[in-house]
Homo-oligomer: A and B are copies of this chain.
Amino acid sequence: MNLIKVGVIGIGNMGSSHVQILDKGQIEGAILTAICSSNENRIDWVKNHTSGDVQIFRDEETFLTESGIDAVVIATPHYSHPEIAINAFTKGIHVLIEKPAGVYTKNVLEMNEAAKASEKVFGIMYNQRANPLYQILRELIHSGKLGDIKRTNWIVTDTYRSQSYYDSSKWRATWKGEGGGVLLNQALHQLDIWQWATGLMPKRVNAVSSFGKYHDIEVEDEVTAYVEYENGATGVFITSTGEVPGTNRLEVVGDLGKIIVENEELTFYRLTQSEREFNRLYKDGFGRPEYKKIDIPVKSENANHVNIIQNWIDSIITGSPLLAPGEEGVKALEISNAIYLSSWLNQTVELPVDPDQYYEKLQEKISTSTFEKKHVTNNTLDVKGTH
């Protein structure tokens, strides 16, 4: 069988990592045959760091038309993901996009339509979905073992960034260049897992975001969001790039107990009786249902980019299901768009937010921006140890 010819467009922090994964032959059934970048330094880097016969393109259109690739990994800045993906689908190329799916839902929904029309395989780099920790969490919830969810709480502050990180590129942490901060960049994986593992999308969001609180940036570096779900459950999501050492602790409470995911471990406090039932039947005041503490042994794996790329290639070859279908990229984005909108309007917003309203508000942020980056170093950063 022929190998799937893969191209990578965008050779920044993540793109460089994907180039190496593909070039080292870590993905069965695939071969890196082309890259596209407009940055000569990064092109030089590709030449020096790949062993195979990799064609170099400087222009997206030529890359997609003339490289002969079957599939493309899109790792360009956030805003361009939907446009490039739509272009690729039109040309019959399978697509794997880096997260976020885009910056606003308006063109992400258009991308989803284009993907559907093309019948090509469309994946998104939600690599945390390949983390066994969250797979087990999801299984416990979806199998009904936790019972109806009452409350969720995720503190994601192990996402520290110093000013020098933000200074590494001109586009970083600007409304125009990146379209958001910690929410869109560092904590988006968790926004996805939050809805994917629980199976619940928030219905209402009331959020406060602090813009440039801990850094000289114009986008948010601290967020607290309160959400309500259709079934009456409530939730809180907190993230920040200004804390050391951060916390990464997810708590999901259900009628049959509580699950804590923290320090890369999962603990299930499992009730021997439904709390709702106990509440009705118990007669003696201070009692509570009994429970067992179950430490579920699971090997957490954070950097599952390889798994996601392999899963996408497998799907192209055999039609097997995707762990992270590209169409689902819109979900975390709907949550993040709602959090931004609630923060900007200083009021509770319903989900999904109107794509046009969000788009206009974002354009307003861009057009009224007076922020200028003082020190831009133009460094490509080693993403080892980040997710």
In the complex, whether A284 has a CB less than 8 A from a CB of chain B is yes
In the complex, whether A242 has a CB less than 8 A from a CB of chain B is yes
In the complex, whether A232 has a CB less than 8 A from a CB of chain B is yes
* A287–B162 CB distance below 8 A: yes
Chain B's closest residue to A223 (CB) is B234
> In the complex, which of the residues B164, B206, B224, B288 contacts A283, with contact meaning CB atoms closer than 8 Å?
B164
A51 CB to nearest chain B CB (Å): 27
In the complex, whether A280 has a CB less than 8 A from a CB of chain B is yes
* A258–B236 CB distance below 8 A: no
- Please, how many angstroms separate the alpha-carbon atoms of A39 and B232 in the complex? 40
A327 CB to nearest chain B CB (Å): 31
* B247–A243 CB distance below 8 A: no
A206-B208, A236-B224, A280-B163 known; A381+B153 contact, CB < 8 A: no
Q: How many copies does the complex hold?
A: 2
Chain B's closest residue to A291 (CB) is B245
A85 CB to nearest chain B CB (Å): 28
A100 CB to nearest chain B CB (Å): 20
- Please, how many angstroms separate the alpha-carbon atoms of A253 and B239 in the complex? 13
In the complex, whether A145 has a CB less than 8 A from a CB of chain B is no
- Please, how many angstroms separate the alpha-carbon atoms of A163 and B286 in the complex? 10
* B234–A243 CB distance below 8 A: no
1/0 contact string of A354-387 vs chain B (CB within 8 Å):
0000000000000000000000010101110110
* A244–B206 CB distance below 8 A: no
* A151–B240 CB distance below 8 A: yes
1/0 contact string of A242-261 vs chain B (CB within 8 Å):
11110100010100011010
A271 CB to nearest chain B CB (Å): 6
- Please, how many angstroms separate the alpha-carbon atoms of A210 and B287 in the complex? 22
A162-B279, A269-B245, A280-B163 known; A224+B226 contact, CB < 8 A: yes
- Please, how many angstroms separate the alpha-carbon atoms of A222 and B161 in the complex? 34
Chain B's closest residue to A347 (CB) is B347
- Please, how many angstroms separate the alpha-carbon atoms of A261 and B369 in the complex? 41
By CB atoms of chain B within 10 A, which of A168, A208, A253, A379 has the most? A253
Task: Give the interface size class of chain A.
Answer: 35 or more
Chain B's closest residue to A254 (CB) is B243
In the complex, whether A157 has a CB less than 8 A from a CB of chain B is yes
1/0 contact string of A182-209 vs chain B (CB within 8 Å):
0000000000000000000000001010
Q: Please, which residues of chain B bring their CB within 8 A of the CB of A287?
A: 162
- Please, how many angstroms separate the alpha-carbon atoms of A381 and B385 in the complex? 53
- Please, how many angstroms separate the alpha-carbon atoms of A258 and B260 in the complex? 20
Q: Please, which residues of chain B bring their CB within 8 A of the CB of A344?
A: none
Question: 27 A-B contacts, Cβ less than 8 Å apart?
Answer: A150-B242, A151-B157, A151-B238, A153-B238, A155-B251, A160-B288, A162-B282, A162-B285, A162-B288, A163-B280, A206-B208, A208-B226, A210-B234, A213-B232, A215-B279, A224-B234, A226-B226, A243-B253, A243-B275, A244-B271, A244-B278, A244-B288, A245-B269, A283-B377, A285-B382, A286-B381, A286-B383
- Identify the A interface with B (CB < 8 A): 150-151, 153, 155, 157, 160-165, 168, 206, 208, 210, 213-215, 222, 224, 226, 228, 232, 234, 236, 238, 240, 242-245, 247, 251, 253, 257-258, 260, 269, 271, 275, 278-280, 282-289, 291, 377, 379, 381-383, 385-386
10 closest A-B pairs by beta carbon, nearest first, are A285-B381, A162-B282, A160-B288, A165-B285, A164-B283, A244-B288, A162-B279, A245-B269, A243-B253, A244-B289
